[in-house]
Amino acid sequence: MECGKYDYRVQPGDVDLTQKASIITLGNHILHAAGEDADRLGFGLRWMQSNNTTWVLSRMAIEMDRYPDEYEHYQIETWVSDINRLMTTRNFILHDRAGNAIGKGCTHWSMIDFKTRLPLDLRTLEHYMAAVIATDPPIDRPAKIAKVNGTAAETHRIRYSDIDFNQHTNSMKYVQWMVDMLPLEKLTSQRLRRLDINFLHETRYGQQVVIAMENSEEADKFEIRPEGSDQAACKAALFWI
Amino acid sequence: MECGKYDYRVQPGDVDLTQKASIITLGNHILHAAGEDADRLGFGLRWMQSNNTTWVLSRMAIEMDRYPDEYEHYQIETWVSDINRLMTTRNFILHDRAGNAIGKGCTHWSMIDFKTRLPLDLRTLEHYMAAVIATDPPIDRPAKIAKVNGTAAETHRIRYSDIDFNQHTNSMKYVQWMVDMLPLEKLTSQRLRRLDINFLHETRYGQQVVIAMENSEEADKFEIRPEGSDQAACKAALFWI
């Protein structure tokens, strides 16, 4: 089995004020490559719909050495490195046109039956097992983020532009809300080196969520939870250079 | 002189919960085609930077007959139909792969000196004058929107993800904030047929803006203004089927 390779180009709407691809764009492209490759292996949207199952992204880590420029072409290489009962690991390397690795990613996924909401035993998916490539993740696996108390907080009502066709919040919207809380000075003078994110519960259209932030020398940590709840929907740690 | 023709594809991040391209995506692609074509004619970003000038979008109208699907390819044809002292008209037709016109647009632009902030006399730009194609706008020109009082209002702080490299709000973000105020039921059961939008003043990073909405049988009207100001930054009318 070969790695999947998918081509992307940074469009004008994909850049931030530094005129380079934002982490939100890169995360969306990584998730897109994951979807395309699952489809190539026979476990994409079509298979899931006919089997009443759905992939659930539980953790994601991205490390970037260089953010691609506006209009730059790059390629995402992706492969599944391991599968156990409840979780599978999908990895990513972003290559520029000269062939240099400019970024890397590692994600953990489970698959659930969307009627019972129970997880499937991934080892029963023979074709999927056959797709494993015995190459370890290119970066440390996404870390489990501890409880974030938050020294600052904002609220956000989940809107039309935040949701997918299931009316759930798009994964990278959480990252957008987090990054939007940081001072512009940091966002322009420093570079996000690594992002660890844990997806714990879905949020839905119309819900009001609190985005709590805790800043330290080492990292900016975030927790997003429905207002009035102490159950996090999403937690993340951002490390800068 | 021939029309410019630019190819687009609806990426997964470009669709809304109906799984068709959102008006925000289409507006961004239209503005992108405008930028590419200005560049083709010699009046793009590079020319502007070396001449200390900038294009200013003052009005935009879009009419859509059909919203393209996820992954659909389509082409935007664009041309300049007229130029007078202070304003030029750029038009757009969106074609699907079968060659059908699925949408149309008409925009008004001026050009300002970004030191003096004064408008240039566009008739002095000989090459630009030579680019005019004597084909009228394909839809009614963008209307002037009257004062919107607003029966509902929301506030929004302008964030990192809202701004361009000049730290000004991206034009289509105004449309996103407007559409986000509408009930999901309307957004899924009706189709936006026509959008008229007037861009009156720039807003900047960190500013707090009020989005006021006035709904009637005929249209949803919006006005966005900095909090505490009665000068609109942007006004729009949205017509539905």
B189-192: list long-range contacts, CB under 8 Å, 24+ apart: B190/B240, B190/B241, B191/B64, B191/B67, B191/B240, B191/B241, B192/B23, B192/B64, B192/B238, B192/B239, B192/B240
- The per-residue pLDDT for range B77-88, each reduced to its tens digit, is 999 999 999 999
Pick from A16, A32, A159: CB nearest B12: A32
B167, A187: Cβ pair inside 8 Å? no
Q: A-contacting residues of B 27-46, CB under 8 Å? A: 28, 32, 35
CA-wise closest residue to B222 among B190, B197, B193, B185? B197
Q: Please check whether the two domains, A4-129 and A152-240, share a CATH topology.
A: yes
- Interchain contact B50–A (C-beta under 8 A): no
Read off the amino acid at residue A103: G
Residues of B in contact with A187 (CB under 8 A): 160
Are A211 and A169 spatial neighbours (Cβ–Cβ below 8 Å)? no
Q: In the beta sheet, which residues pair with residue B105?
A: B62, B92
Are B44 and B35 spatial neighbours (Cβ–Cβ below 8 Å)? yes
- The per-residue pLDDT for range A143-173, each reduced to its tens digit, is 999 999 888 899 999 999 999 888 899 999 9
Pick from B11, B167, B180: CB nearest A17: B167
Residues 6+ apart with CB under 8 A from A228: none
Report the distance separating Cα B171 and Cα A53, nearest Å: 39
Pick from A19, A164, A187: CB nearest B160: A187
Q: Which fold has domain A4-129?
A: Thiol Ester Dehydrase; Chain A (3.10.129)
Report the distance separating Cα B136 and Cα A88, nearest Å: 57
- A1/chain B closest Cα distance in angstroms: 26
Pick from B35, B170, B187: CB nearest A160: B187
- The per-residue pLDDT for range A3-38, each reduced to its tens digit, is 999 999 887 778 898 999 999 999 999 999 999 999
Confidence of residue B151 (pLDDT cuts 50, 70, 90): confident
pLDDT at residue A130 tops 80: yes
B159, A180: Cβ pair inside 8 Å? yes
Confidence of residue B63 (pLDDT cuts 50, 70, 90): very high
- Interchain contact B238–A (C-beta under 8 A): no
Distances (CA, A) of A70 to A10, A11, A92, B5, B13: 5, 6, 21, 20, 17
Are B104 and B45 spatial neighbours (Cβ–Cβ below 8 Å)? no
Q: What is the pLDDT of residue B166?
A: 82
Report the distance separating Cα A233 and Cα A119, nearest Å: 18
Report the distance separating Cα B106 and Cα B60, nearest Å: 6
CA A76 to chain centre: 14
Read off the amino acid at residue A1: M
Of B77 and A54, which is predicted with more confidence?
B77
Instruction: Identify the residue among B157, B160, B177 best suited for mutation to test binding to A, counting A beta carbons within 10 A and taking the highest.
Output: B160
Helices in B10-153 by DSSP H: which ranges?
23-40, 45-51, 126-129
CA A156-A16-A91 angle, to 5 degrees, is 85
For the domain spanning B152-240, the CATH number is 3.10.129.10
- The per-residue pLDDT for range B89-122, each reduced to its tens digit, is 999 999 999 999 999 999 999 999 988 989 999 9
- Interchain contact B111–A (C-beta under 8 A): no
Q: What is the ipTM of this complex?
A: 0.85
Report the distance separating Cα A82 and Cα A103, nearest Å: 21
- A161/chain B closest Cα distance in angstroms: 6
Read off the amino acid at residue B220: D
pLDDT at residue B45 tops 80: no
B205, A184: Cβ pair inside 8 Å? yes
Q: Which residue has the tokens 């304003």?
A: B87
> In the predicted model, what is the mean pLDDT of chain A?
93
Q: How many CB atoms lie within 10 A of CB B145?
A: 20
A32, B13: Cβ pair inside 8 Å? yes
CA B187 to chain centre: 19
- Interchain contact A11–B (C-beta under 8 A): yes
Per domain, the residue ranges of chain A are 4-129, 152-240
- The per-residue pLDDT for range A63-117, each reduced to its tens digit, is 999 999 988 999 999 999 999 999 999 999 999 999 999 999 999 999 999 889 8
Read off the amino acid at residue A73: H
> In the predicted model, what is the mean pLDDT of chain B?
93
Render A26-49 in DSSP notation, one character per residue: HHHHHHHHHHHHHHHTT-SHHHHH
- Interchain contact B171–A (C-beta under 8 A): no
Per this entry, what is the length of chain A? Answer: 241
- The per-residue pLDDT for range A208-224, each reduced to its tens digit, is 999 999 999 899 999 99
Confidence of residue A207 (pLDDT cuts 50, 70, 90): very high
CA-wise closest residue to A208 among A160, A163, A157? A157
- B153/chain A closest Cα distance in angstroms: 14
A17, B164: Cβ pair inside 8 Å? yes
- The per-residue pLDDT for range B14-36, each reduced to its tens digit, is 889 899 999 999 999 999 999 99
